[in-house]
A and B are shown apart, each in its own frame.
Chain A
Amino acid sequence: MGFKYFVMFIVLLAVQVLFLNQIQFSGYINPFIYVLFIMLLPVNIPKYALMLLAFAMGISVDVFSNSLGVHSAASVFIAYLRPGIIRVITNREEDMNEYPGLAQTGWRWFLGYAILMVLLHHLALFYLEVFTFANFLNTLYRVILSSVFSFFVIVLSQFIIFRD
C-alpha cells in the first residue's frame, strides 16, 4: 500500500521537474502535476501524515527548481485545507469512497475537487513566489492560466496512469 504511494511520489516528482518544468510556452504557463499526489492520498489519512507528505513533496520540487520554501508552503496550505474541501463538496447522503481518484468518485465530484485544490494551490504558490501584492492582476492572470493547464494535465493523467 505504502509502496504504491512511494512510486507515485517519485513518478510525479520526475514528471514535474524533468518534463513540465521544462516546457515553457509564453513565459506564463507552468502546469504543476505534483498537486495530484496530495489530492490522491486516502481520504482517511491522519492530518499530520497528509501535511508532512505534502511538505516532503513541496520541498523536493523546491530543491529541483531553486525556489526553496515556495512549493512546500503552497503544498502544506492545500494539505491543511483538504479535509475541509472534501467535506464541502461531498453530499451528506453519499458514501465517501476512500480513494479520491476519478474512477472511484465520478466526474462531478472529482472535477470540483481538482478545480478547488489546483486553484488554491496556485494562488498560494504564485503570490508567495512574487512575495508582494504589487502587480496583483498580472499575478492573478498567471495563476488562472497555469491553473487551467494544471487542471487539464491532472484530469488527463487520470486516464493515462493511476487508474487503479
Chain B
Amino acid sequence: MRSLFRLLVKNYPFLLFLFLEVISVVFIVNYNSFQRSRYLNTSNAISASLYSSYSSVVQYFGLKKVNKHLMEENALLRNRIDQYESSLLDSVRLETSSDSTFRYIPARVVNNSVNRQQNYITLNRGRKHGVKPDQGIISSTGIVGIVTSVSESYSMGLSVLNPRWSISAKLKKNGYYGSLIWNGKSYKNAELGDIPFHVDVAVGDTIVTSGYSSVFPEGILVGKVESFTQPPGENYYVINVELSTDFKSVTWVEVIDGIKSDELEKLKQATFNGEDGI
C-alpha cells in the first residue's frame, strides 16, 4: 500500500496530465450538453459583451459591402412589391385568417468563424428579444445557421459551416429534397445528399430550404449546384453546392421565430409516439 502510494507521488506529473486530458476529452465528446449550458461558450456575458464591443468597432471596415448587400436586397424586395401590387389590382381579395407563421428578429453578428471544423456564430440578441434555441438564422443572401444557446441578451448558434447538423433543402425547379451538410473543406461549399439518380440535376440549379422542418420557412435561398457526381455503388448523387451566403462577411442577420413551431413539434411528437388517437 505504501509503495503504491509512493509510486503515485513519484509519478504525479503523469497522473495530473492524464487527469487534465481526460477532463478535456470529456468536454470534447459531450459537446452537445456543454454547448447548451450557458456559461462555457461565447453566449456568456463576459465573452459576448467583449466580442460585441469589438465587432462594433470592426464592422465599420465592412460597411461598403454591407451597403451593397442592403441595396441589392432593397431592389429585390421592391421588385416583389411591384409584382404583388400588379397582381392585387386585377384580383378579388379572399378573406382569410392572417397566416403569419414566422416573425423575424433582426440581429448583428458579433462573432463568427469560417476556418474551424465546427464553426459557430454569436448574435447580439437574446432571450429578452425573443430568441430561443432551435430558431433559424438567415441573412439577406440566404441561410446562415441555427440558434443553440441563449443568454439574457446574446445568443449563439451553429452556422451552416458545422457538420454537427444538417439542413433539409430541395431543388427549386422540381421539389426533390435532400439533406445539406458541410463537408469541412471550404467555407464556400456544402454537400447535398439523398437526391436519387433519376432526378434531373444541372449545374447552376437553385437550392432552397424545403420548409419541412419548422426551423426555416420554405424557399429561403441556400445556394446553387456547382458540380455533382454519381458515386459508384450508390443510389444518390453527391451534389456540391455553392453557398449563397458569404460567411466571411456576414454582419446583419435575422432570427426566425416560428410562431407555430411549438404546435408543429407537438403534432410530430404525438404522431411518432402513436398518441394521435387513431
Contacts and interface: CB of A to CB of B under 8 A. Distances in A.
Contacts of A62: 27, 40
Interface stretch (A66-74, A94-102, A115-123): A66-74
A20 to B, nearest CB: 11
A69 B264 CA distance: 36
B116 A129 contact: yes
Interface size grouping (class) on chain B: 35 or more
Contact of B58 (A22, A48, A131): A22
Contacts, number: 97
Given A63-B47, A64-B51, 7 more contacts: A17-B47, A47-B13, A55-B23, A68-B31, A69-B25, A72-B23, A131-B28
Interface stretch (A23-31, A36-44, A153-161): A23-31
Interface in A1-56: 17-18, 21-22, 24, 27-30, 47-48, 51-52, 55
Interface stretch (B14-22, B66-74, B190-198, B199-207): B14-22
B114 interface: yes
Contacts of B212: none
Interface of B: 12-14, 16-17, 20-21, 23-29, 31, 34-35, 40-42, 44, 47, 50-51, 54, 58, 113-118, 120, 156, 184-187, 248
Interface in A53-98: 55, 58, 62-70, 72-73, 76-77, 80
Contact of B27 (A18, A30, A69, A77): A69
Grouping DSSP codes into helix (H, G, I), strand (E, B) and loop, the A interface class, with mixed when no group exceeds half, is helix
